[in-house]
A and B are shown apart, each in its own frame.
Chain A
Amino acid sequence: AQKITQTQPGMFVQEKEAVTLDCTYDTSDPSYGLFWYKQPSSGEMIFLIYQGSYDQQNATEGRYSLNFQKARKSANLVISASQLGDSAMYFCAMREVQTGANNLFFGTGTRLTVIP
């Protein structure tokens, strides 16, 4: 089974509007971390935001917020006030703690295009 599922291969958003990128995950580990990364065409993976499985509040980092619904196993990324520079590939990823490994399981990504 896929550990991370991103069902939106591509998304379009008007500049200055908000957009939600979907991510669902599958784990039996009670302790895990969820990450969102941005990958522009240059290739570098840029860390955006983190949510821990025991965190009570949704994470926020500037224009990025994570809508964490633990019971639904979803961790959607919300980008407010989109900018042209937000056009990129976005990956959701998860790390499980009890496996002892440090693997990041990545989803297949969502390509976001911001329209002027």
Chain B
Amino acid sequence: DTEVTQTPKHLVMGMTNKKSLKCEQHMGHRAMYWYKQKAKKPPELMFVYSYEKLSINESVPSRFSPECPNSSLLNLHLHALQPEDSALYLCASSRGLGSSYNEQFFGPGTRLTVL
């Protein structure tokens, strides 16, 4: 199984809502990532988890809260988002950290719209 799955595919939420994005992989990968991608822009790294511990937080606002319950799952909890947070949110995983070749497998993404 070389697949990263993400749910939901699409999400529309109001600024006062609380929602969660989910990501799952069963490749035994120990590093997982959240990226944000605005239209016609490259992905921007948000968070990196390595062995279920937060390794990198790229100065992301606290209204985005990541969680890694186990080595296969990665969540992104959303609260009090702004319309400018509307984007494609991509999850990725890789075998680990620390070598030049750590191919990241990406999921299909969640298209988030904040009203």
Interface residue? B56 (CB, 8 A):
yes
Q: A25 CB to closest chain B CB, in angstroms?
A: 13
Let me know if A95 and B100 touch, CB within 8 A. Answer: yes
Interface residues on A, range: 20 to 34
Q: A113 CB to closest chain B CB, in angstroms?
A: 15
> Which label, helix, strand, loop or mixed, suits the secondary structure of the A interface?
loop
Query: Are A102 and B98 CB-contacts (below 8 A) given A44-B106, A45-B106?
Result: yes
Interface residues on B, range: 20 to 34
Let me know if B103 and A50 touch, CB within 8 A. Answer: yes
Tally the A-B contacts, defined by beta carbons under 8 Å.
69
Stretch from B40-48, B66-74, B76-84 contacting the other chain: B40-48
Q: B21 CB to closest chain A CB, in angstroms?
A: 13
Interface residue? B64 (CB, 8 A):
no
Interface centre among B42, B43, B106 (most CB of A within 10 A): B42
B residues touching A (Cβ–Cβ < 8 Å)? 31, 33, 37, 40-43, 45, 48, 50, 55-56, 88, 90, 92, 94, 97-109, 111
